[in-house]
Amino acid sequence: MLMVGTVSVAALAAVGMSMQFMMIVNVFMTLFVVGGNALISRFIGQGRKKRASALLFSLVLLAITLAAFVSVGGYFGAYHFYAWMGATPAVVEQGGTYFKILSLGIIVIFLDTLLYNALSAAGDTKSSLYIKLTSSVLNACMNYVLIFGHFGFPVLGIAGAAIATVLAYSFNNVAYYILIKKLNSKLDFLPIIRIKDIKRVLKVGYAAAIDRGVSSVSFLFFVSIITAYGTAELAGYQVGLRVEGIAFMPGFGFAIASMALVGQNIGAKDFDKAYNMGIISGRIAYTFMGSVGLIMILFPEYLVHFFTKDALTIAVASKYLILVGLAQIPLAIMFVYSASLRGAGATKTTLKVNLISLWLFRLLPSYIAYKMGYGVIVIFAIMNLETLIKGCIYWYIYSKREWLHTKV
């Protein structure tokens, strides 16, 4: 985003919008990742490594099959996606180029997500850390070379950013394979297909996939409302999201930890410990995210300035950061507690909460506010109010403990 931001505001907005389309792609990944995570963590908690390894092999085959279909759809529909969202012709052109290339790498993206989550469910997050650190450096270097055309390479602009991303994911796949096959990891690829376990994965995963699908479509509608305000407002929102990602990451990290530890302890029949793992993870997450949120409130312009020099984009993104900085603690609670419920297999519960909250408290009020002529800042305020409400709902559900006894 930093490098693309120097190309043009349209390129910046295009890459940002692509993440909304990737949320739709994530629906298909959720189908096997969430159920696989819940089941693998339970098998590990029960000390059944071979059963977990056989399931991982089956999920790899399933991921490759689904990715092939998604890749074709993404490649041929790239330009149409941006046009449907109401983007300007410049954003459509830049975004279509970017997403078309990204679609060719859907298979390596699917496998990367599967292997990352499988190892996390088994309790191994350190290996993924080293792999991701290495690929991030590799990705940044390739961005520099391919976007700007250094060291004899042609100037590819936004296309170079897409190529660099696909290559980085490809590196991750090779690294994960070496880790699992050669370095005695907590999992293996055991070439046994158990239809019963695949059905169990899909039984948990379908509700999570619908949940992710509802969320993705909801966010697309939300972004389309922001897009209607103009390219600068859209770019400001996307830049704000990237800066907010600094706070997101600890939340995601402890959400993954909670999902794995809750699933493992439920597998071991230690329900009190499973419950407490979510509580501890939540406390650490909202401490981290609340602290970063305070920085976003105090220094928004400074943080945004790294991404763009456009004055209007900086103004919009800065106001966005001030508002979301206030919502980081309920957002952390939402991250960790919803992940804990998914780790227990209670995906139908998270589906209901997200469906009601997003449409009733975010999308409908935002659309009404837009039609009434309110500015984009009001839309951001509504978004953060919905986050607060959702965080409170998850806190209430989590404290009741009924989700601990979900059957998988």
In contact, 181 and 136? CB cutoff 8 Å: no
* pLDDT tops 80 at residue 193: yes
Choice among 31-35, 115-119, 129-133 with the minimum mean pLDDT: 31-35
* pLDDT tops 90 at residue 194: no
* pLDDT tops 90 at residue 230: no
pLDDT recorded at residue 264? 83
Q: What percent of the chain has pLDDT over 90?
A: 34
> pLDDT for 268-307, tens place per residue?
889 999 999 999 999 999 899 999 899 999 998 888 887 7
CB atoms under 10 Å from CB of 311, counted, come to 9
User: 385-389, long-range: CB within 8 Å, 24+ apart, which pairs?
Assistant: 385/361, 386/357, 386/358, 386/361, 386/362, 387/327, 387/330, 387/331, 387/334, 388/327, 388/330, 389/357, 389/361
pLDDT recorded at residue 357? 92
pLDDT recorded at residue 308? 77
* pLDDT tops 90 at residue 201: no
pLDDT recorded at residue 347? 83
Local confidence band at 190 (pLDDT 50, 70, 90 cut-offs): confident
> pLDDT for 63-111, tens place per residue?
999 999 989 988 888 788 788 777 778 888 888 888 889 889 999 999 9
For range 155-177, the mean pLDDT: 91
> pLDDT for 334-392, tens place per residue?
999 999 998 888 888 988 998 899 899 999 999 999 999 898 899 999 999 999 999 99
pLDDT recorded at residue 333? 93
pLDDT recorded at residue 275? 94
Spatial distance between the Cα atoms of 14 and 178, rounded to a whole number of angstroms? 35
How far apart, in Å, are the Cα atoms of 25 and each of 19, 164, 199, 319, 386? 10, 19, 21, 30, 24
> Rounded to the nearest 10 degrees, what angle do helices 158-182 and 126-148 cross at?
150
Q: Where are the beta strands (DSSP E) in 116-267?
A: none
Local confidence band at 183 (pLDDT 50, 70, 90 cut-offs): low
Burial of 309 (0-12, 13-18, 19+ CB in 10 A): exposed
35, amino acid identity: G
Choice among 134-138, 221-225, 270-274 with the minimum mean pLDDT: 221-225
For range 28-53, the mean pLDDT: 84
Choice among 20-24, 54-58, 90-94 with the minimum mean pLDDT: 20-24
* pLDDT tops 90 at residue 44: no
pLDDT recorded at residue 184? 62
In contact, 303 and 8? CB cutoff 8 Å: no
143: CB partners within 8 A, 6+ apart = 3, 160, 161, 164
pTM for this entry: 0.72
